Amino acid sequence: MKKVLLFSLALFAVIAVNAQTSVWKVTGKGTTMYLGGTIHLLRPSDFPLPAQFDSAYAHSTTIALETNPDELQKPEATQKMMQKMMLPEGKTLKTVLADSSYKALEKVCANMGLPIDNLSQLKPSMVTMVLAVMQSQKMGFSTDGVDKTFSTKAKNDGKKILFLETIDQQISFITKMGEGIENEFVMQSIDDLEKTEKELPELLNAWRTGSDKEMSKDAEEMKNEFPDMYKSLLVDRNNNWLPIIESYLDTPETEFVLVGSLHFYTPDGIVKMLKDKGYKVEQM
């Protein structure tokens, strides 16, 4: 089960020549656009990226990202993020979680050398995110993912960079994860953490090889287990982004849209939505 990994890490193998990957070419209205599904955490060994990413980038004059990564590094954004990660005044992890969930989380924190008392004011979902990032870092992953790679490259190459949502919107989406289902979210996160060493490479392989079957299966699990979170993090955002993405086909520029892979692979995803509107969408 990779539900929480997919949400919080927002998501390996050598691929065969001409194999597909998480890149699509969209044509319509006499213009072309590219879509690229991203993974936010990668290892040095995951580079070079599949050649289709470089090809789509080379044929594009503009890239579009979920949000501005440079803004996230600013002190005011960091401060805002920290404020929204915190529990309301007077509440702690111990008061918002069931005793069994708290003890399970306490044990995991201790095993990772992170005293739970240091995290007592954080929302439960934010604690699990911290643990997920720590676990991934132990495995050699860093935040030098697909989106950061092409953001840096576009700046160096002088290409135009667009953004689909504001920093405030993204912070809100992230910090509201698991609200109202804190105990279920924590227990599922713990289960996922125990399987990270096996399942994170599997997730990367599904992304790298463009496995619609595997990515769709994981999305369906999330939809069944956490329907409200699935709707807010994927469906609602896809609906918000679609008119923006569609408008790119009205411009003379060629855009390369880079967002989390699950936004493309689900039955509610952008690929299907564009196909339903009559655009030709080909996986590269």
For residue 175 the two structure tokens come to: 């910090």
Q: What does the pLDDT look like over 46-81, one tens digit per residue?
A: 999 999 999 999 999 999 999 998 887 889 988 998
3-state class (DSSP) for residue 138: helix
Beta pairing, strands 23-28 & 31-38: antiparallel
- Identify the pLDDT of residue 14: 27
- Torsion on CA atoms 123, 224, 164, 23, rounded to nearest 10: 130
CB 193 within 8 A of CB 9: no
The pLDDT of residue 3 is 52
Q: Residue 13's pLDDT is what?
A: 24
Provide the strand spans (E) within the chain: 23-28, 31-38, 62-65, 160-163, 255-260, 280-283
Q: What angle do CA 227, 230, 233 make, to 5 degrees?
A: 145
> Quick check: 7 pLDDT over 60?
no
Residue 4: band (very low, low, confident or very high) from pLDDT cuts 50, 70, 90: low
The mean per-residue pLDDT over the stretch 96-102 comes to: 98
pLDDT digits (tens, 9 = 90+) for 176-208: 989 999 999 999 999 989 888 888 888 888 899
Strands (E), 11-74: 23-28, 31-38, 62-65
- Percentage of the chain with pLDDT > 90? 65
126, pLDDT greater than 80: yes
Query: For the chain, what is the mean pLDDT?
Result: 89
pLDDT computed for residue 19 by the predictor = 54
Whether the Cβ atoms of residue 73 and residue 152 lie closer than 8 Å to each other: no
Q: Can you read off the two tokens belonging to residue 48?
A: 């070079």
Q: Report residue 12's pLDDT band, with 50, 70 and 90 as the boundaries.
A: very low
Give residue 10's pLDDT.
40
pTM of the model: 0.91
Residues 255, 273: Cα–Cα separation, whole Å: 18
pLDDT of residue 219: 80
Residue 5: the pLDDT is 52
pLDDT digits (tens, 9 = 90+) for 236-263: 999 999 999 999 999 999 999 999 998 9
Encoded tokens for 49: 């990226």
String of DSSP letters for 15-26:
PPTT---SEEEE
pLDDT-derived band at 115 (thresholds 50, 70, 90) equals: very high
Rg, the chain, Cα only: 19
Burial class (CB in 10 A: 0-12, 13-18, 19+), 75: exposed
The Cα–Cα gap between 7 and 169 comes to: 16
Nearest C-alpha neighbor of 39 from the set 186, 236, 210, 254: 210
Q: Tell me what pLDDT residue 18 has.
A: 37
CB atoms near residue 30 (< 10 Å): 7
Which of 166, 157, 142, 143 is closest to 256 using CA atoms?
Answer: 157
- Cα–Cα distance for residue pair 109/104, rounded to 1 Å: 9
Q: Which of the pair, 266 or 48, is modelled with greater confidence? A: 48
